[in-house]
Structure 1
Amino acid sequence: MKIVADENMPYVEALFAEFGQIEFVNGRTLTAEQVKDADVLLVRSVTKVDQTLIEDAAKLLFVGSATIGTDHIDLDFLHQRGIAFSNAPGCNATAVGEFAFIALLELAKRLGTQLKGKVIGIVGAGNTGTAAAKCFEAYGLQVLLCDPIKQAEGDSRQFVSLDELIAKADVISLHVPITKEGPHKTWYLFDETRLNTLKPNTWLINCCRGEVIDNHALIKVKQTRDDIKVILDVWEGEPNPIAELVPLVEFATPHIAGYSLEGKARGTFMLYQTLCRLLQKDPSKSLMGLLPPFEFQQRLNTADLDENKLLKMCRLVFDLRDDDALFRQSFHTATGFDLLRKQHTHRREFSALAVNPASDNAISASSDCIKMLHSLGYSQ
């Protein structure tokens, strides 16, 4: 069996070597010639899997995408050809939620203010939006959800309209798939008109798809409204962000919000499980067996965890400032954006760090403080 896999997908060798020969490829430049004799194709969101790519792949029996979205996959053509497909919904949801939370703590620190007390508006209440809401609610923040599709489907959570969210939220976090048609299309959801409706001092963070915000319009708006603070992990025109936009953004990263070791391992592992089922084989690997142990545990010796101390704890598992600095240094080079993603292998999730009181003494760490950290996702 021949397995063609994106070279930036982690743990492919560890999980799929038992099935046959693995050929690693550049997912962004993958050609039909490279996949014509493949039995299995493993991709990420940078690869468009359509008739042009796989029409001559006569042996292809399975396509796996280690992503949440499927907008890069021609599902109808796969079905027509009888090719099995699986993506990995939710694989990096925790990572994206924690990224949004950490990024906003960093922004508050940079601006000399507090995240505590702000109203958070989440646009898109799927896997990543729900994970972000979990973090914000664990920290005691009021969260407003906007998702007209889930609302129409009967989701039991409370929802508000996008206009109401914009009017009430101090922070807006975007977590929608990219759709170009229909009543709820998200392409340029935040165009120039909508960006100009943001109330004074709004914080806007995008960790889903770059084209949810009209980046050219964002440049224009930011040039006249410096009160709006922006964090971008995704960019229109990736892997070539608009150079004029980068200096206007408070934190800038190369589409790595979901790039925790746990999230990446989980995505590849979900594809491995699907292929095992397809081949009627019992899985011989485990998810936890892929991950390295974390270096240390944290014992709290303070009765109160203020926001500065919380941010320091978050930086133990992920220091956003490092990625921001690297991005600004090299995003403009020919391969800078993709190289930053490929080399991003250091980030962990909150669950990698166990947090407990320093002793049984009640003054060492309040029970509410420990409960909040465990609700955020830190281990016990």
Structure 2
Amino acid sequence: MRRAISTASSAANRCCISLPKRDAGSSMKALFLGNVAADTANGIRAELIPELQVDIIADPKELSPEIAAATDILVTNIWRADYPPAPRVRLVQSVATGIEWIEQATLPRGVPICNAYGHETAIAEYVLMVMLVWSHRFREIESDFRLHSSWRPSWVHSGAPHGEIRGNTLGIIGLGRVGQEVARRAAVFGCRVLAANRSPRAAGDGVERVYPLDALDEMLPLCDTVAICTAFGPETERLIDARRLTLIKPSALLVNIARGAIIDEDALYAALRDGTIGGAAIDVWWQYPNAAEPERRPSRHPFHELPNVIMTPHCSGWTAGMVRRRWDEVADNINRFVRGDPLINIVTTT
């Protein structure tokens, strides 16, 4: 699918660089590549500077060498070495927060790569939601009552009381945008909040103590819930391995909303199967669907067979509010580039 359209958003205040001023009416072409980018283009076309020429290609297999060669602004969350060369690209605007699917070596040198946010609220709500669902045994109680009219968990039959999160200790790995939003909400629910972070951060705003990441082993045994909110990179790949899983309480809940590869896949499955940890809520995975397997299982292991796992298909941040906030950031940054204004959300430069 490709459509050429001629198509002005909220400002954000983040790390930025200045670019040479240019005439907003000069000819410049933006390529929105991939299904998420195509949806973004359709959502923001009215916000973009009218003189900007836009190509929308939902299926990367339909990208022609001519379109790629004429692109000044690349808007996508994926760029691979086998795509046609794009020698004119001067800005890569990701439609996601992570940029690990963009193969930077295939792009021209000196190109800023910017990401987009807006997902912090939704993901923080998800973390608190699964904490509540887990502690209140909501899934099993609701299911048994619906299917079997079971009153066993109730005071009516002197059932065993379920839990609550007030007074629990939450350990957050990665005190960035998402981690901070999780901390604020958990503190309101009466949780004790600890955090571990790669760079130094002060405690406060709901967080009792911040550990350096290399002191993570000190924090893990203290936690009733561990929430992984850190960015993915060499320092965090397989950060949670078999050894660290043994440091977590046998009753604890592990929540991953970051990237699957931060946890050792084999070790986590074994720990959940064998009861080394109490349970897990997993929203990010090791395997994703593709054209050949649109309903591909998210792991080599049958996590779906384990009763102590809450599974969702990488949708914790996918809310209507997040989509609108992210679209506005993307439109704002594209317009900044066209006008020669400072860019926001710069992650790196090729």
Partner residue of 1:150 out of 199, 209, 225: 199
Does 1:245 find its partner at 2:303?
yes
Provide, for residues 39-96 of structure 1, a one-character-per-residue CA deviation record: whole Å limited to 9, x for no partner: 332223xx2x355546x2133333211222333335576561x4343211x4211211
What is the distance in 2 between the residues matched to 1:71 and 1:121? 26
Partner residue of 1:214 out of 264, 267, 289: 264
Partners of 2:87 and 2:108 within 8 A in 1:
no
Q: Which residue of structure 2 lines up, in the alignment, with residue 200 of structure 1?
A: 250
The 1:84–1:218 alpha-carbon spacing in structure 2 relative to 1, beyond 3 Å, is: closer
Q: TM-score, normalised by structure 2?
A: 0.69
What is the distance in 2 between the residues matched to 1:4 and 1:58? 16
Q: Which amino acid is the alignment partner of residue 156 of structure 1?
A: A
Q: Which residue of structure 2 lines up, in the alignment, with residue 308 of structure 1?
A: none
The structure with higher relative contact order (CA 8 Å, sep 6+) is 2
Q: Which residue of structure 2 lines up, in the alignment, with residue 103 of structure 1?
A: 130
Q: Which residue of structure 2 lines up, in the alignment, with residue 171 of structure 1?
A: 225
Q: Which residue of structure 1 lines up, in the alignment, with residue 75 of structure 2?
A: 42
1:279 alignment partner, SS class: helix
What is the distance in 2 between the residues matched to 1:150 and 1:223? 34
Q: TM-score, normalised by structure 1?
A: 0.63
The 1:136–1:32 alpha-carbon spacing in structure 2 relative to 1, beyond 3 Å, is: farther
1:190 alignment partner, SS class: coil
Q: Which is helix-richer, 1 or 2?
A: 1
Partner residue of 2:332 out of 273, 288, 295: 273
Q: How many Å apart are 1:117 and its aligned residue?
A: 1.7
Higher mean C-alpha displacement, 68-77 vs 214-223:
68-77
Partner residue of 1:20 out of 33, 36, 53: 53
What is the distance in 2 between the residues matched to 1:219 and 1:247? 11
**Unmatched tracts of structure 1, length 5 or more:** 283-380
Higher mean C-alpha displacement, 204-213 vs 258-267:
258-267
Q: Which residue of structure 2 lines up, in the alignment, with residue 7 of structure 1?
A: 35
What's the Cα RMSD here? 2.6
Partners of 1:233 and 1:252 within 8 A in 2:
yes
What is the distance in 2 between the residues matched to 1:226 and 1:58? 51
Q: How many Å apart are 1:189 and its aligned residue?
A: 1.1
Higher mean C-alpha displacement, 245-254 vs 15-24:
15-24
Partners of 1:195 and 1:218 within 8 A in 2:
yes
**Unmatched tracts of structure 2, length 5 or more:** 1-28, 139-161, 204-208, 290-296, 342-350
The 1:281–1:163 alpha-carbon spacing in structure 2 relative to 1, beyond 3 Å, is: closer
What is the distance in 2 between the residues matched to 1:186 and 1:219? 19
Q: What is the identity percentage for the equivalent residue pairs of Structure 1 and Structure 2?
A: 22
The 1:210–1:137 alpha-carbon spacing in structure 2 relative to 1, beyond 3 Å, is: same
Q: How many Å apart are 1:214 and its aligned residue?
A: 1.1
Superposed, 1:49-198 pairs within 5 Å as: 49=79, 52-53=82-83, 56-75=85-104, 78=107, 80=109, 82-88=110-116, 90-110=117-137, 112-147=162-197, 149-151=198-200, 155-157=201-203, 158-160=209-211, 161-180=215-234, 185-198=235-248
What is the distance in 2 between the residues matched to 1:225 and 1:31? 48
What is the distance in 2 between the residues matched to 1:164 and 1:222? 22
Partners of 1:5 and 1:12 within 8 A in 2:
no
What is the distance in 2 between the residues matched to 1:65 and 1:256? 18
Q: Which amino acid is the alignment partner of residue 39 of structure 1?
A: D
The 1:118–1:7 alpha-carbon spacing in structure 2 relative to 1, beyond 3 Å, is: same
1:8 alignment partner, SS class: helix
Partners of 1:232 and 1:253 within 8 A in 2:
yes
Does 1:235 find its partner at 2:281?
no
What is the distance in 2 between the residues matched to 1:86 and 1:227? 37
1:189 alignment partner, SS class: coil
The 1:145–1:68 alpha-carbon spacing in structure 2 relative to 1, beyond 3 Å, is: same
Q: How many Å apart are 1:30 and its aligned residue?
A: 7.7
Q: Which amino acid is the alignment partner of residue 85 of structure 1?
A: I
The 1:156–1:278 alpha-carbon spacing in structure 2 relative to 1, beyond 3 Å, is: same
Point out the structure with max Rg over C-alpha: 2
1:258 alignment partner, SS class: coil
What is the distance in 2 between the residues matched to 1:103 and 1:64? 32
What is the distance in 2 between the residues matched to 1:93 and 1:32? 36
